[in-house]
């Protein structure tokens, strides 16, 4: 069984100013990794709370919604860390509702942040990783990327694309030494989950369908998956059963999801 120890490794985590990304950066640092935390805001404060001497944890202000933003992040992080061993594309947005109501600008931002940022980061990182024959690309998608998200078309599509991209990378570059992990949780107790309370009916799905985990629980599962170099991280283990259900009887699965949607919308 492969073992990827984080001790002595370098890691970059996006969306690390709060929530799951903050918990991931803290967990990687606790394992002995030298970390760069990146976010639109908050990353510097979290980094200095991890290591006030700013020697093993650094915060960077970064906007990963453009290719230039990803290139700048990879360049700046490489100046701080030297080679980047692990890049965790965790930043995400939970924008949008249904096909009729979601503005084009929300579709664009959802794809830029939840999908294109992954390939822009990979594009910047792969040349050096292929040269070394070693690199680790991890991403946060969602159980919505495996199963669909009631109430949000952009979230469903972008998270499914993120899972597909992780699989594609693992297939295409695995023989060249690339390791890939994709995190697919259901509800996690962060600002994004609670924003859904008011903004999108789909935000309430997790309250009906799953336990809400703490970011630290999820980060613990991620460290274990990275140690094992495992592709999928399913902090809610029932998601694996749902995946089997969707494959074995998709029509019945959709029927069950329609029923759940009626409950979420208050129709039942």
Task: Quote the least distance from Cβ 200 to ligand NAD, whole Å.
Answer: 12
Determine the length of the chain: 268
Q: Does 118 bind ligand NAD (CB under 6 A)?
A: no
Note whether 158 binds ligand NAD by CB under 6 A: no
DSSP 201: G
In this chain, which of 135, 185, 202, 235 binds ligand NAD, going by CB under 6 A?
Answer: 185
The answer to the question of residue 15 lying near ligand NAD (CB under 6 A) is: yes
What stretches of the chain show up as alpha helix (H) in DSSP?
Answer: 19-30, 43-50, 67-81, 104-111, 117-132, 144-147, 153-173, 191-199, 205-209, 215-228, 238-248, 250-264
Nearer to ligand NAD, 92 or 151 (CB): 92
Quote the least distance from Cβ 176 to ligand NAD, whole Å.
26
Could you tell me which stretch among 76-84, 126-134, 185-193, 223-231 binds ligand NAD (CB under 6 A)?
185-193
**Residues that contact ligand NAD, how many (by CB under 6 A):** 28
Q: Which of 46, 50, 60, 64 binds ligand NAD (CB under 6 A)?
A: 64
Q: Residue 16 phi/psi, 5° resolution? A: -95, 10
Beta strands 232-233 and 178-183, pairing class:
parallel
- Name the CA radius of gyration of the chain, rounded: 18
Q: Do residues 246 and 20 lie in contact, with contact meaning Cβ atoms separated by under 8 Å?
A: no
Question: Which of these ranges, 57-65, 121-129, 173-181, 226-234, lies near ligand NAD under the rule CB under 6 A?
Answer: 57-65
Please pick, from the candidates 4, 6, 10, 19, the single residue that binds ligand NAD as defined by CB under 6 A. Answer: 19
14 counts as binding ligand NAD under rule CB under 6 A? yes
Task: Kindly tell me which of 91 and 226 has the beta carbon lying closer to ligand NAD.
Answer: 91
State the first-to-last Cα distance of the chain, in angstroms, to the nearest integer. 48
Alpha-carbon torsion angle 116, 122, 127, 129, nearest 10: 180
Binding site for ligand NAD (CB under 6 A): 14-15, 17-21, 39-40, 62-65, 90-94, 113, 140, 142, 185, 187-188, 190-193
């Amino acid at each position: 069984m492969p073992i990827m120890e984080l001790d002595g490794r370098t890691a970059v985590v996006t969306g690390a100013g709060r929530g799951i990304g903050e918990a991931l950066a803290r967990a990687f640092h606790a394992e002995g990794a030298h970390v760069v935390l990146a976010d639109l805001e908050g990353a510097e404060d979290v980094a200095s709370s991890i290591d006030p001497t700013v020697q093993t944890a650094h915060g960077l202000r970064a906007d990963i919604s453009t290719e230039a933003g990803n290139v700048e992040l990879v360049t700046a992080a490489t100046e701080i860390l030297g080679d980047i061993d692990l890049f965790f594309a965790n930043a995400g947005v939970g924008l949008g509702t249904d096909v009729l109501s979601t503005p084009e600008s929300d579709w664009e931002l959802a794809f830029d942040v939840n999908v294109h940022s992954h390939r822009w980061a990979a594009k910047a990182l792969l040349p050096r990783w292929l040269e070394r024959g070693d690199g680790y690309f991890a991403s946060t998608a969602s159980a919505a990327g495996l199963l669909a998200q009631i109430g949000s078309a952009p979230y469903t599509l972008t998270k499914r694309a993120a899972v597909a991209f992780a699989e594609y990378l693992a297939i295409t570059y695995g023989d060249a030494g690339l390791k890939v992990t994709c995190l697919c949780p259901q509800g996690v107790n962060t600002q994004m989950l609670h924003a859904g309370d008011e903004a999108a009916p789909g935000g309430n799905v997790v309250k009906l369908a799953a336990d809400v985990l703490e970011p630290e629980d999820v980060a613990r599962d991620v460290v274990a998956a990275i140690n094992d170099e495992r592709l999928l991280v399913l902090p809610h283990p029932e998601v694996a059963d749902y995946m089997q259900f969707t494959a074995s009887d998709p029509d019945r699965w959709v029927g069950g999801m329609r029923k759940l949607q009626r409950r979420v919308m208050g129709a039942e």
